Structure 1
Amino acid sequence: MGDTLLVADGDRHGGGEVALALDVGGTKIAGGLVTGDGAVLATDREDTPGARADADDVFQAVERLVRRLLALPDADRVEVVGIGSAAPVHLAEGAVSPVNIPAWRRFPLVDRVRSLLGGRRPVLLCGDGPAYAAAEHWLGAARGFDDAICLVVSTGVGGGLVSGGRLLPGPSGNAGHLGHVVVDVDGDPCACGSVGCVESIASGPSMVRWARDQGWSGPGTATAQDLAGAARSGEPIPVAAFDRAARALAAGIVSAAALTEVRVAVVGGGVAQAGPLLFAPLREHLAGYARLPFLRGLLVRAGEVSRDGGLLGAARVAFAARGDADPRRRSGSGEIRSREPRRGG
């Protein structure tokens, strides 16, 4: 559990509606108060209980976090609640089955949070990948683009789609999950049960595991950050691990572009913090795969939203569902549009 952080943000700290946002992951459960124009007024977190915890143990962490946020001065302005959860999610049921939270299988998270709040506020659910896409499209590197795929490359590989200026979560809420696009039909097993998924090649743990199999002798608890440090010093196996991950990501991104004609791919998350080690080979492989005329010119950008991106996205989805994504529109359409002119790529 971390201490609640109150964030001053100039004039944005003024009036207007506020969303209580939650970002549920396998390592931490983050929470915050977010205004309709994207100011994060406060953040807090709880560690996600471990694999031996039962469903109620995990929800009690959510409950502690929500109660602390509701005790803050700006909490009386909360009108909506947005939840971004690790996938898969089940939107129609308001339930979640995160791969990395084994205690929750079809856990009725929306109903439990709504009950915690006494049923007084709308509670909106989305996957963490679509939440990240909503945040980048609102305030980050996909801002101004009508068609985008946004990826989080970290301990897993998640993603979300924006099409025609609208978030496209799909019927179940899991559309855009590029991590489980198969890019190697004879590849390694993936945690999802398939083989050769992007995640089985490009996630941080997968990169480290592959490097070790090739003979890399990094520290016993090595992470993708350790691998990046070794690559920067010129060690060939870590360099090859980043190239291999970049190739898998490029294949997945081009596949997504062929299906949806996205014009920009935004890549964030811990692995993306390696910067040119990942992005240089990613752009090179992308150019090699994107050969058809309508695929050429596909852009790749580093993510721009802060570590609060999951909270921003969950809040954005909650406001949009009420037709309040842009306070100047209030059309009731639920569209999630950025505030700059359209760009085609």
Structure 2
Amino acid sequence: MQNTSHDAAGGGSTPAAPALSAGGTRTGSQKVIYAAIAANLGIAAAKFIVAAVTGSASMVAEGIHSAVDTGNELLLLLGERRGARPADRRHPFGYGKSLYFWALIVALSVFSLGGGLSIYHGIAALRSPPPLEDPLWNYVVLGVAALFEGYSWNVSRKALNAVRRPGTSLWQTVRASKDAAVFTVFIEDSAALLGLVIAAAGIALGHYCSNPYFDPAASIVIGLLLVGAAFTLARETGGLLVGESIDREQLAALRALFARERALDSVASLRTMQLGPDEVLLAASVQFRRGMPIDEVEQAIARLQSAIAAEHPAIRHVYFDAAALRAALH
């Protein structure tokens, strides 16, 4: 358990009330990842087998998609484990951002391997489309894949719903989420389910119209879908990696907390940075009442720290502007 500290004029630190454990949240995130790995591994093998039998270009694209997703989930699991390492001398704020780094690698993987290979394979198949074969096994595998992907998607959806605020949509919850493991799996699985629909439509239209070009065209559309998903993931994880703040509602609640402290004259700024899914740094620039005795200043800081720990347990590090503390003592 990590103590909260403040930057005083002398550079010391004062322990605050301990932050609540986030172990339950991280366990939930890992459950989402394991569910996605199990689903995608089996689906990828089935898709490639059927693609080899039927020659379907869209099934090859779907197989590539599921194989890439399996690798991506393993990278997220690596990020989870590296991010859980305790702080040390070289990383005094811990390794929480490791998850954001690996989630960004996942986004690049979806773009290059998932989207790029699917588009390339579709274009190659358009130049020389394979003959139409009996689509029965394609439909069987797509149906089974939809069940597995739907299960994995539902696990990630439940994890998002657990932190979803009343009146907000699921997409707004994804945008507000700081847990890259959960929203990455959700976005990947959402793209996977849409890809299955596109693949099925391409195969069905090809056989209905006796036109072999619909199937490779579906492969290209799937690739473009994955490129869009990759850009979405890169935008979300990139913002977290470079130091995204907590959202406006949380910041407003934090300002209200400081406003309740009678020892403060004003609050100039509250700057926050997400250090990991459940870890936030707060730098508070405040003005204490002038002429306060040092013991009253310390008591006010202790009250603020205790209130922050109780109402915002993710805020593990609190630093107060040393200039404001010096001003209060003169």
Q: Normalising by structure 1, report the TM-score.
A: 0.22
Structure with greater helix share of residues: 2
Q: Which structure has more RCO (C-alpha within 8 Å, separation ≥ 6)?
A: 2
Q: Normalising by structure 2, report the TM-score.
A: 0.22
Rg: which structure is higher?
Answer: 2
Structure with greater strand share of residues: 1
